[in-house]
Amino acid sequence: MFPPPKFFPTATLNVAELIFRGRKDTDIAIYFSRESLSDIEKVTWASLRERVRKLRSALVNSGVVAGDVVAAVISNSVDAIVICLAALSVGALWSSTSCDMGVGGIVDRYSQIRPKIIFADQGYVYAGKIIDLSDRIRQWSSELRERSDMLAQVVVIPNPNLNSIPLHQPNTYTLENFLKADRGDQLLFEIIPFSHPAFILFSSGTTGPPKCIVHSTGGVALKAKVDSVIQHDIRKTDIVFQYTTTSWIMWVLNLMNLSCGAAMLLYDGSPFHPRPSILLELAQAFKVSVFGTSPRYLSTLKGLGITPRRDFDLSRLRIMLSTGSVLSAELYEWFYSIAFPPSAQLISMSGGTDIAGCFVCGTPMLPVYAGEIQCKALGMAVDIYDSGTDDHVSVEELGAPGELVCAKAFPSQPLAFLGKDGYKQYKASYFERYGPSVWCQGDFVQRSPATGGIFMLGRSDGVLNPSGVRFGSAEIYAVIETIPEVLDSICVGQKREVDINERVLLFVKIRPGASLTSHLKSQINSAIRDRYSPRHVPAYIFEVDDIPYTANGKKCEINVKHAINGNKFAVAGSVANPAALKAYEKYRDLPVEGPRKSNIVSKI
């Protein structure tokens, strides 16, 4: 598996051609809405084809060739789809990041991949606010040009809510002016090898500089087809609504749903503005049949007391996809008993940017059990290895927790990591633990012998280990979600140089109107003890104002763990609320021997 093998060496294809092949011109390919809902855009396949043709012609006549990198700082919009498909049609590599990424995050990413052209939204709207990106465009384009002479052009996509356009930098154009390079060329597709690079994706970067992961055109296309069509039963008649940003792997996989013939609903904006029910309103209005979201979104709906099936017509909904973090048993129960139509299938899945798809996911052919992911993904030799040894010891059939591994190579394995020490990074990320023949994903999991389902227990580097008892943070979160007074939480281990054993610290965000009383603390501890064991009970419970998350909705456990252990760490640009991390640093000064009096107020 490492170095990565080449699959189907004689096969050739073009992803963009696969997407357009066999489509009826008059059918709708994309529905698009921004927050206002006042200007819904409907794009037919004929219109999409023509827009891609024009953009492709302009790219080619601007000097873009197969193997060049085309990047974008762009919202989840039709423009993003058009530019991506045009780049892929040429055989160029595509990479994108969302508009909320800071200048440092953009420079960190794009300085490593050296794009020839970057497309950039002039601004965007989020939670009712218009954010002007003009100054940021000037900053990151200037910094990137200082680092590399590869960047030939920056193309700005004007925002109708803004007046000035940042064209003061050299070789910076509006999209309208850039499209003047269109010479009426036909929409042609560069036929390239299966292993030709097509997508550059980035890790979350919460534990260091973001890794530049290069995926092949054939690997992404094949894996997406298997997961979507065969595994999850996405059909040509479906309307698929995946809430995502352009920074996330789910944006690429959502794009690939077009290759299934399904129509796509795009939404750009806050999932809770102008109303907490906005995504549900869209699902009803467009008769969405496949809805992709995250556990955090579902948990927020539950906390707000929203009952979708009572207030909205979701009769067309067949599948609800959930990914990004662990989906608790409590959310499964809420989904089926109260929230959504019981005829809809709730599918939790786990994989990621690393493999452009799933290791474990769902299927309509098996029952759904609360708290479990139904099965292994097709074509993935998934196993669970003993986390206490570096030997290849499977504990899957025993039902014991361990490391999620893949014991055979797979087509969507990354081609490479770009950037300094990319080869070493690639090897260290997945093959350091069990050697070059076994991919170690870094997830702590457990298989149910009774059902065959998979329990996701948390990230391996976030596994809690008080007094030698190993368990995942997801087990604690599953209990906390049953406590009405707690809005959110994060659970990490503390073991500083002065500590003999690791202890568990639980940080909770309390709902407005509630408080962390001694009774509530006892209730939390009792619930954890009763469900698991006394060893699972945290040494301390603290109330905090905010829980740090990445922009993709993942809790920043490793950052918090570094903060409370006194480790130096850089806050990545992908952290959505970096200021929240500062509040955790004071907990590095807790007493060494268990919970005693200190200058920090304990919540136990």
Q: How confident is the model at residue 597 (pLDDT cuts 50, 70, 90)?
A: very low
Question: If one looks up domain 464-589 in CATH, what number appears?
Answer: 3.30.300.30
Give the chain's mean pLDDT.
Answer: 93
Residue 3 neighbours by CB distance under 10 Å: 11
Q: Tell how strand 28-34 and strand 263-268 pair up.
A: parallel
For residue 230, what is the DSSP state? I
Residue 566 has pLDDT above 70, yes or no: yes
Work out the average pLDDT over 213-242: 97
pLDDT tens per residue across span 357-405 = 999 999 999 999 999 999 999 999 999 999 989 999 999 999 999 999 9
The angle subtended at Cα 352 by Cα 447 and Cα 131, nearest 5°, is 135
pLDDT one-digit tens code per residue, 270-305: 999 999 999 999 999 999 999 999 999 999 999 999
Residues 568 and 581: beta-carbon distance below 8 Å = no
pLDDT band for position 206 (50/70/90)?
Answer: low
Mean pLDDT, to the nearest integer, of 82-94? 99
Query: For residue 259, what pLDDT band results from cuts at 50, 70 and 90?
Result: very high
Q: Does 238 have pLDDT greater than 90? A: yes
225 contacts: CB under 8 Å, gap ≥ 6: 256, 259, 260
- Of the chain, the percentage scoring pLDDT greater than 90 comes to 85
Percentage of the residues of the chain whose pLDDT score is greater than 70: 97
pLDDT in tens, 297-307: 999 999 999 99
Token look-up 């690079």 returns: 197
Best CATH choice for the domain 379-462 from the list 3.30.70.940, 3.40.309.10, 2.30.38.10, 2.60.40.420? 2.30.38.10
- What's the pLDDT score for residue 12? 98
* pLDDT score, position 604: 38
Q: How far is it, in rounded angstroms, from Cα 438 to Cα 180? A: 50
Do residues 150 and 116 lie in contact, with contact meaning Cβ atoms separated by under 8 Å? yes
User: Would you say 542 and 503 are in contact if contact means Cβ atoms under 8 Å apart?
Assistant: no
Instruction: For 541, list phi and psi in degrees, rounded to 5.
Output: -125, 125
Query: Is the per-residue pLDDT at 496 higher than 60?
Result: yes
- As a CATH number, domain 1-21+40-216 is 3.40.50.12780
Q: Which residues of 451-523 form beta strands (DSSP E)?
A: 454-459, 486-494, 503-510
Stated as kind and residue range, the H or E segment containing 93 is: strand 93-97
Rg value, the chain, Cα: 24
pLDDT tens column, 141-192: 999 999 988 898 999 999 988 887 767 778 999 999 999 999 999 999 999 9
Confidence of residue 208 (pLDDT cuts 50, 70, 90): low
pLDDT at 462: 86
- The per-residue pLDDT for range 28-68, each reduced to its tens digit, is 999 999 987 777 999 999 999 999 999 999 999 999 999 99
**In the β-sheet with 486-494, what is the strand arrangement from edge to edge?**
486-494, 503-510, 540-543
Looking at the predicted structure, is the pLDDT value of residue 406 above 50? yes
Q: What is the pLDDT of residues 509-530, one digit of tens each?
A: 999 999 999 999 999 999 999 9
- In the chain, which segments carry CATH 2.30.38.10? 379-462
- The burial of 530, by beta-carbon neighbours within 10 Å (0-12 exposed, 13-18 middle, 19 or more buried), is given as exposed
pTM of the entire predicted model:
0.90
Tell me where in the chain the CATH 3.30.300.30 domain(s) lie. Answer: 464-589
Instruction: Give pLDDT, residue 596.
Output: 37
pLDDT at 209 (0 to 100) = 64
Res 170: pLDDT: 82
pLDDT bin (cut points 50, 70, 90) of residue 420 is: confident
3-state DSSP: the chain helix, strand, coil percent, rounded to 5? Answer: 30, 25, 45
Binned at pLDDT 50, 70 and 90, residue 595 comes out as very low
Q: Give yes or no for residue 92 having a pLDDT over 60.
A: yes
CATH 3.40.50.12780, the chain: domain bounds: 1-21+40-216
Phi, psi (degrees; rounded to nearest 5) at 443? -110, 140
pLDDT number for residue 573 = 65
